[in-house]
Amino acid sequence: MTRLTRLPKLLPLAILLTMLVAGVLIGGAPGFVLLLLATAFVAWVLYLAWPALTSSEKLMRSSVLLLAGVMAVSVLFPRN
């Protein structure tokens, strides 16, 4: 986490958004892996920040984690 704080503020967000968009656009197994990595990153940051968050922040960030997981599964098993 110390390394993340040394990076420019928008860089982790830009990397995360790039992985999410690329995962959705690529699709299939490679897209699933990208989305799974992005979901794991969100889960890790949520785990580290959990004690300092308020109830509403916990709910919002958990919702983002759930949405990322659903996106990953929907890319792996698309409905045609």
Predicted confidence band of residue 3 (pLDDT cuts 50, 70, 90): confident
Residues sharing a CB contact under 8 Å with residue 4, sequence separation 6 or more, in sequence order: 12
In the chain, how many domains are there? 1
Is the whole-model pTM more than 0.85? no
Q: What is the pLDDT of residues 7-62, one digit of tens each?
A: 898 998 899 999 999 999 998 999 999 999 999 998 998 998 999 999 999 999 99
pLDDT value at 4 more than 80: no
pLDDT value at 70 more than 80: yes
In whole angstroms, how far apart are CA 51 and each of 46, 54, 55, 57, 61?
9, 8, 10, 11, 13
- Evaluate whether residue 32 is within a structural domain: yes
- Evaluate whether residue 41 is within a structural domain: yes
The whole domain housing 37 covers 28-80
Greater model confidence, 80 or 35:
35
- Evaluate whether residue 34 is within a structural domain: yes
